[in-house]
Amino acid sequence: MAAAAIVAVAAAVVLVWTQAGGSTHMRSRRPVARRNPNPVRLRRRAPRPARGGSGNRSIDRVLAYTSYLSVGAGRHRDIALTFDDGPGPYTPQVLAVLARYHVPATFFAVGSAVQKSPRLVREESSRGYPIGDHTEHYAYLGHLAAAAGAGTALEHADVPAPRLFRPPYGSFNASTLSILRANRMLMVLWTVDTKDFSRPGTQRIIYTALSGARPGAVILMHDGGVARAQTVAALPRIIQMLRRRGYRFVTVPRLLRDDPPPRGQPPPHPLAGAGFLPSPPRR
């Protein structure tokens, strides 16, 4: 395994994301920090050994032909539940539901939240839940010259170096992809956005998850940020109904192993929408 896997997300190392005007072209460009007078350049440092070697092998196999996952090929009735923005006050309740129903999941952690609650992210990891990077401060990458990742916070929490990355708001550009490719990290988008971040109501979250479900789907929910009581309330029903429909819950690395994204899929497109500027987050 290359030694560069951890450096892209080290909080002490500034990741340079060049403005590309929302372009999704896959050309390789050297990142330039125009608004950062003293950029810290990427350093190559050997990560500590990570658990879950088979998961890393699955990531490597997929990276050999694509830069991202948004849905599996659909050969099996597998679904991956994913949770963003944590850990937070509602994370223990999410973990309790997952444990009650024996459901695996994948978490995308924000570095600043990990610093506040390292015990929770350690608990997630100890249960075998993969932890991905969701940046240090929930950065909107399409509008920043530089952003730091969550890797150092995860390392201090004694969690394996992340190989999965989810861009906040689904915002990224060609430079984002170039940096992830250089550091052997896979971008994980989603198939179904439950929009639970807006707290639309428990029943609406359930409906959105169930109506968008399909073999190989990646479902986006949130365990961190503002109050997630609606998500916690919706989760048991989502699990029960999807199981009745014959779905099996898997982690993202397991989905990559058993039902990877199809070869020849088109280049990824940002999910935030052209000209989107996030409002001050309630997260």
At 37-81, the pLDDT tens digits run 323 222 233 333 344 456 899 999 999 999 999 999 999 999 999
The per-residue pLDDT of the chain, averaged, comes to 79
What ranges do the domains of the chain cover?
A: 3-258
The active-site residue, picked from 85, 133, 196, 222, is: 222
What number of H helices and E strands is found in the chain? 9, 11
What pLDDT was estimated at residue 201?
Answer: 98
Catalytic residue, chosen from 78, 84, 85, 133, is: 84
**Cut 0.85: pTM above it:** no
* Confidence (pLDDT) at 229: 98
Place of tokens 């170096």: 161
Between 91-100 and 118-126, two packed helices, what is the crossing angle to 10 degrees? 20
Q: Among 12-21, 69-78, 152-161, where is mean pLDDT lowest?
A: 12-21
- Look up 143 and say whether it is catalytic: no
Region 80-91: what's the mean pLDDT? 95
**3-258 in CATH: which number?**
3.20.20.370
Give CA angle at 68 (5, 244), nearest 5°. 115
Three-class HEC string of 69-135? ECECCCCCCEEEEEEECCCCCCHHHHHHHHHHCCCCCEEEECHHHHHHCHHHHHHHHHCCCCEEECC
pLDDT at 165 over 90: yes
pLDDT value of residue 54: 60
202-212 vs 229-244: helix axis angle to the nearest 10? 40
SS3 breakdown of the chain: % helix, strand, coil, rounded to 5? 35, 15, 50
DSSP assignment of 145-172 equals SEE--SHHHHHHTT-PPP-EE--GGG--
Predicted pLDDT of residue 150:
65
Is the model's pLDDT at 26 over the cut of 70?
Answer: no
Instruction: Give me the pLDDT at residue 280, please.
Output: 40
Q: Catalytic residue at 133? A: no
Specify the length of the chain in residues.
283
Q: Which residue has the higher pLDDT, 14 or 135?
A: 135
* 188-227 pLDDT tens trace: 999 999 999 999 999 999 999 999 999 999 999 999 988 9
